[in-house]
Amino acid sequence: MVYLEEMKIAKYFIVGAIAALTDISLFYIFTRLLGYNYLIVAFFSFTIATFVNYILSIMYVFKSEIKFSKKKEISLIYIISGIALLINQISLYILIDLITVEMTLSKIIATIITFFWNYFIRKNYIFKESAI
């Protein structure tokens, strides 16, 4: 059982890394190269990365529709991700505007924080398998 949990978190780490790469790449391109506001860009890049994470998660990490219908599952993912987005935005604001950490490094730190939030909630609530 411990091995299966280790495999699940390892798979989620890879899925999360792909989603994070999507998020951070879009963030970098639109803030650094194209000059858009970092909070607006963070919203859109995070939303796209959430979709990438969901698709890859149900393909490789979690069993879909165990506890909820597909429609409710997707709704919950975006609600939980909305909270993660809030955590992300507050982290970015604190790091960039208050502490003056470099923008891309701040995005990486904020992404790491939200990674743990997302995994915990998805594993223990949205995709929780019944204990038999």
List the domain boundaries for the chain. 2-126
Q: What is the pLDDT of residue 52?
A: 95
The pLDDT, as a whole number, for residue 3 is 66
Q: Which token pair is 107?
A: 């995005």
pLDDT in tens, the chain (132 residues): 566 667 888 898 899 899 999 999 999 999 999 999 999 999 999 889 989 998 998 899 888 777 788 888 888 988 998 899 899 899 999 999 999 999 999 989 998 998 888 888 888 888 877 655
On whether the CB atoms of residues 95 and 114 are closer than 8 A, the answer is: no
Q: Which residues contact 62 (CB under 8 A, 6 or more apart)?
A: 8, 122, 123, 126, 127
pLDDT value of position 4: 64
Output the pLDDT for position 124.
Answer: 86
Is the separation of the CB atoms in 104 and 27 below 8 Å?
yes
- Gap between the Cα atoms of 96 and 101, Å rounded: 5
120 contacts: CB under 8 Å, gap ≥ 6 = none
Predicted local confidence at residue 123, as pLDDT: 82
Residue (of 39, 19, 24, 49) closest to 94 by Cα position: 39
The reported pTM is: 0.76
Distance (Å, whole) CA 56 – CA 107: 22
d(CA 128, CA 104): 33
Q: Report pLDDT for 94.
A: 96
